[in-house]
Structure formats: structure tokens, C-alpha cells
Amino acid sequence: MAESALTLTDERLLGQPITLSNCDREPIHIPGLIQPYGFLLCLDEQSRRVVQASANTLALLGIVPENIIGAGLGILLEPEQLVAVERLWATLGPEARLLGIRLGRVVGQPAYKLILHRYDGLLWVEGEPVADTTVSAFDLSALNMSLGSLLAAETVLDCCQLTAEQVRAITGFDRVAIYRFAPDDSGEVIAEAVREDLPPWLGMHYPATDIPKQARAMYLKNWLRFIPNARYQPVPLVPAVAPGASRPPDMTYSVLRSVSPIHLEYLHNLGSEATMTISLIQEGQLWGMITCHHQTPRLVSYELRDLCQFLGKTVSVLLKGKEQQDEQAYRLRIREAQVRLFDLVSTQVNFLDGLHRFTPSLLDVLDCGGAAICFDGEIITLGHTPTPAQITELVEWLRIHNPHDIFVTDSYARLNPAGKFIRSTASGILAVALAREAGEYIFWFRPEQLQTVTWAGRHEKNQTTVDGQIFLSPRQSFEAWKQTVEETSAPWQPLEIEAAKEIRLHISDIRLKVFNELQAKAISLARLNAELERSNDELDSFAYVASHDLKEPLRGIHNYSLFLLEDYADKLDAEGVSKLQTLVRLSQRMESLIEALLQLSRVSRVEMAVEAVNLNDALADIIDLLHPRLEQTRTTVTVPVSLPTVRGNRTLVHEVFNNLLTNALRYNNHPEKHVTIGVAPPAIRGPKGTGDPADFTVIYVHDNGIGIDPKHHDNIFKIFKRLHAQDKYGGGTGAGLAIARKLVEKHGGELWVDSTLGHGATFYFSLANNL
């Protein structure tokens, strides 16, 4: 992208051996050559006489350079023009200034503009022809709109894209690309305005060698470089070294300065016949470049180039603010995610749930590929992370090699050879210690940066021999190639590190608060448990006594109501008989409810005798008991595979099967009813997931009945809770499922349902394999 390299002849002039680093030492600021589209005169500051002239003055001005040397500018200018130039000399500095006059004494030649500047003890006069392109003027109102758009751009990328589009609109170049330098001096194209039929460069990376150190130094001084025809033959100065000088003049600020032949070869390989480059400078450092390319020669007027330079300087001023806007937007995003995360962590019973179960999680706070929590012997991962075993190894390495509460690296493999095996997910690691000695950490991971990065050709330079002379030539092809970026991630920003520290402190505060609360409650916890146990015993006793004692008078009410109907029905009118019948029905229902309450209280009070229970035998007993009803309701019970033997109470297990089968018969309106009973796969676990799945057997009872709306799944297990009117589906007290759940929980298991309305129901219950 920039000038580079020397021939062997150039090296011998400098008395240096040839090496691959020649590009970094080439004296490109003193080539003694210019581009031939204009002419150059160098004047002595004191005498105002020409001491050097470009060798093409005969072709461009009709005067041989030898006749110009020693003369004043009066040889080219009319007296009034000469006066205007003389007035400018005192105000000039290194930066070029355009003087909009025609050469009054040059007859029959093209019109030239004069560009003047003062540098290296000389007065420089460069003549540039009037541009022959159609783009030769600019619209001030359009410029005003352009500047407004740049000011309004919210991000660096938006600002750069607008700049590329505006420069292309001003100049008409086929391609305008903006690339930004990385810390290692390589560059990436981050914005582009390009002719539709040309391949894009956006996202391409360029090696640091494209712009050698001495070129960078020049580009910090001279903002704009222009080559209207890359096929030019350079024109020397006459004489090459001015009288009394020890070297060619320093052409750092010269508009016509000839560039390195290697740079021209670079442009040929690129397919660029005209180019313009504008520096983007931030705080004295080369931030990036605006590069323009055209497939045919193109002479853009000095005025328009000056306008593009103005845009480049404007963007340079704006860049710092845009970068701060980008950083502030990211900081705000991090802060918002932090606040929401802290709220989740603070409101969860277990603070770990707040870190990973909800949104935002740890993964959402920072830009990263994955995150992990190592706490209390458990490893929780989010996103793309190393395996738990690899994270365990990382924790052990940190305990030994990092004595601090925070660890940051963008290349873990450089610190630990084992890092090579996790570089695809964790080349970059940001870790905070919750308890370093206990191996408790929070991690954020970043993968290798882009794994493969698109580069604009190979960045090696090859030595080539032509007629016995050695050249350092740039790459011969600019087809994109892939270079693996090994073992390095995108760097962690300071604001990300601060955010990680804040998360660590917040979690530490929560853990301290929880510890203090537990300490305060520890004294009363035993007492509260004892009171709760006593209350439960008293409640069970009350339920038992109340239900037992209520049965006697209720049975009397029921019996006397029957006596009245039998003995006095003929003495009562129809309304009286109806009321007595209602009294009998209600007393029967009341007795059923009391019996259910009594049965439920017995479950808590009974001492459970545990034995090996063959579930096949238990189910066969219940099916035999319910056989008449099964035939009556045309119900088929299927057991696909043999059921296992578990540890439990045979009577209570019988009751569970009885309640669930009765429930399946009752809530089914199909002519043909089907119930399937079997063993659920190991993956099926209850809502609480109590215990190790290997310690429990889960049995399912599936029917093709009316089904249960999911919103009622919890309600059906409440005592006396029915979802239908008393006269539908055979009545019932609504206590059967509550009793069944109590019986299963007595065995240390769970009872739950999976069902949707109209699609049957599946009840699951778990029983311990070994109590």
C-alpha cells in the first residue's frame, strides 16, 4: 500500500548490505526525482534564483532546464504575477499552497497552476496542469451536508464509511477504502466505497511491511500523496545535487515527489493506475489511511485533492470523539447488563442461579465466546468453553501460578503450553477469583482471533534476480490468502477488566451478607425446627381425632334420615321427601370427606414397615380388586414390560396403584378406555429432581382420558380439590391424588403429572430402589 524497497544500486550508494529490511531504511524523502505530469523549480531562499529544475521543463514549458537555472521566476511570470508570488514567500511554510495564476510568459503551452512551499532551505515552485477530469469543482452546500453527516455519525465505522463515500463522490475514483492500523502496525479495511463490478476489500488485512517506518514518518508530515499515472517514468532534477549541498533536496512536502519503484510495482500488481492516499492522524500517531485507486490514469485537480485532505483532517479530529462514543456505548451496555445481573443474583436464594439461569447471564455482560463458573466443586459452563476437565486443569494452573484475584491474558498458550489445546475456545481468558485456595473462579473466554484472517496476499517479500541485479519485489499477486492467527484472542479492554472486578466484589458482598444472616439465624433454627415438628404432630393428631370423633354423630344423622324416609315418607309431601333425600346424600358425602381426611392423617402417623415389594404382584392385586369395574367400564390395562421390585411398604404401594387406576377410570369419556403402566426411562425425573436417578425407579400410569390443562397440574394434588362439578365423572371427594402423593413422598419419592386437555394424562411416581 505504500512505498518500499531499493535496488542493489541504491543500496551501494548508501554503503549498506542488502537485506529484507531494506524497505525500512530507504531514503524515500530524497529521491531526486519527480513525477512527469508537472515540473519543479527549487529556488535559493536568499537570492530567489533557481538552483535546480526538473529535466522535463523543455517538454512542458519549452525551455531547457539549463536556461532556467540561475534565473528568477520572471522567466515564467509577468511582472504583476511576480509581485503576487513575492508577497507569498514570507507567509509560506512546509505545507503546499496553491497560487491560482497562469504562466504569463509561457506561450503555446497547457495551462499550469503553481504550488508553492518553503522547506529544507529552499523555495519550492511546482507547476501542475489543469485537471482534465470531469470532476474539477465542488459544491459548497454539498460539503456542508457532508460535514453534518460526519458530525452526526454515531460510531467510528459509520464515520469512516461516510468518509469513503464522500471522497469517492468528490474524486470519482473507482475505489476508496479506509483501513485502520492495529497495534502491530498491520492494517484492516474497515470501510469502502467501490465500483459495483470490482471485488470488495472490506475486512481484508494488510501486513505492517506495506508501510515501512520511514514512509509512516513522512505520512505524519505530509497528509496527502497523489500518483495520477502509475506507469510514469520518473524525471530527475538538474543538477541532482544543488551547488553547495551534500545530498538531493528533501522532498517530504513536494506534491510531485517520485515514489519508490517497488511501490509502483506494487500498484501494477494491484491493478491500480492512479492512486491517492490521505493520512488519518490521531494525537500525533498514524491512526489509518484513506486510500483511493483507479484502474486508468486519473488527474484530479489540486483543489479537489485539497478538499479531500480537509475531509481527512476533519475526520482525524472527529475520530477521538467517535471512539469515545463507541467505548461509551459499550460501557453503557455492560453497565445495563451488570445492573440486571446484580438484581438477579441478589434476589435468588442461590446466587449462582442469578449468574447463569436467566437473561442476562455472565455470558451477556462482556463480548466473549463463553463463560464458566467454578464453585463448591461444580463447574457451570455457558456458550463455547473448554471441557470441564480442561477448566479444572486451568483452575489448578491458576492456583499455582497466579497469586492475584484477577487474571487477564489474550494468549494463554504463551503462558502455559497446555493452552494450545483450548485455543479454539479460550486463547483469551479473563478470570476473577471468588475463593482462590478453594479453586472457585468466574471465567470469560475468547477464541483465537478470527482463527483465519483474510490478508491481501502474502506478506513476505521475495528476492528476485534480473540480469545479475538483485531486487526486493513485493508480492506478485493480490489474491486474498488465509493466514492462521495462532494462540491470540482479541485483547481485553480496561473497561471489561473493571466490569469483571465489580462482579467479583458484588458476589463477595452477597456471600458475606448471606453468611451474616445464617449466623444470626443459626441460634433459632433448631428451636424453629422443633416447634415445626411439634406443630405438624399436633395437626396430624387433630385431623385424626376430629375425623374419628365426627364419624359417630354423622352416622347417626345419616341413619335417622333413612328411618324418616322409610317410616314417614307417606306422611310428608313431595318437597319434604326431597329434602330428606338431600340430607341423606349430603351426610354420605360428608362421611366420605371425613374418611378421606382420616386416611390422609393416617399416612403421616403410620410407622412404615419396609420390605421388598414386587410391583407386578402389587399391580395384579389391584387389577383383581377392580376387575368388575374394569369390565363394566370396558377398560383395558396394559403392562408392556415386567415391573421391577422396589423397597417400600406393600400396603401403601397398593393404595397408590388403586388411587391412580381409579382416577384413570373415572376421568375418561371414551367408549374404549386404555391404561398403560410401565417403567419410565432414566431421563424422566420429577420437578424437584430429588436424589440420584440411579437410586429411584420411576413408574408411569398413562390413560386416554379427558386430560388436564397444565395450569391445573398443581391444583389436582390439593386435598378436596376437584376440577369438575360434583355430579360429573362419578363424583369423588378430590382427595385421592393428595393421598397418593402423600404415600409416595412417605417413600422419599415424587408424584407428578404430564398432560394436556383432551389428550389423556400420564402420572409418574418415583420409588427408591433401596430404602
Mean pLDDT by 10 residues, the chain (771 residues): 36 36 55 90 92 92 91 87 84 76 61 86 88 54 80 91 94 94 86 94 80 78 90 92 87 88 81 93 92 94 89 92 89 90 86 89 93 93 95 95 94 94 94 89 91 62 44 44 73 93 88 65 57 55 54 66 73 76 64 55 61 90 84 90 88 84 86 91 74 80 89 73 50 67 84 89 86 53
What is residue 675's predicted lDDT score, i.e. its pLDDT? 93
Give every CB contact of residue 231 below 8 A, 6+ residues apart in sequence. Answer: 264, 268, 273, 297
* Alpha carbons 224 and 218: distance in angstroms, whole number: 10
All 3 cell numbers of residue 517? 444472616
Instruction: Specify whether the CB–CB gap between 673 and 634 falls below 8 A.
Output: yes
* Alpha carbons 699 and 681: distance in angstroms, whole number: 9
* Alpha carbons 688 and 573: distance in angstroms, whole number: 58
Instruction: Specify whether the CB–CB gap between 646 and 618 falls below 8 A.
Output: no
All 3 cell numbers of residue 695? 437410586
Identify the three-state secondary structure at position 145: helix
Torsion, CA 767, CA 768, CA 769, CA 770, rounded to 10: -140
**Which residue type, as a one-letter code, is found at position 516?**
N
CB atoms under 10 Å from CB of 291, counted, come to: 26
Structural domains in the chain, CATH included, are 8-25+137-229+259-326 (3.30.450.40), 336-451+484-508 (3.30.450.270), 509-605 (1.10.287), 610-768 (3.30.565.10)
* Alpha carbons 540 and 146: distance in angstroms, whole number: 83
Taking only Cα atoms into account, the Rg of the chain, rounded to an integer number of angstroms, comes to 45
Torsion, CA 475, CA 477, CA 480, CA 486, rounded to 10: -30
* H or E segment and range at residue 660: helix 650-666
* Alpha carbons 593 and 9: distance in angstroms, whole number: 112
What is residue 174's predicted lDDT score, i.e. its pLDDT? 96
DSSP 355-416: HHSSSS-HHHHSS-SEEEEEETTEEEEEES---HHHHHHHHHHHHHH--SSEEEES-HHHH-
* Alpha carbons 752 and 762: distance in angstroms, whole number: 9
**Which residue type, as a one-letter code, is found at position 413?**
A
What are φ and ψ of residue 204, in 5° steps?
Answer: -70, 150
Give every CB contact of residue 563 below 8 A, 6+ residues apart in sequence. Answer: none
All 3 cell numbers of residue 377? 466443586
**Distance in Å from the first CA to the final CA of the chain:** 78
- 239 cis-preceded (ω within 30 degrees of 0): yes
CB atoms under 10 Å from CB of 746, counted, come to: 16
What is residue 593's predicted lDDT score, i.e. its pLDDT? 53
All 3 cell numbers of residue 503? 462482579
What is residue 16's predicted lDDT score, i.e. its pLDDT? 40
Give every CB contact of residue 264 below 8 A, 6+ residues apart in sequence. Answer: 227, 230, 231, 232
| 147: Cα separation from own chain's centroid | 32
All 3 cell numbers of residue 367? 463480548
Three state DSSP letters for 248-261: CCCCCCCCCECCCH
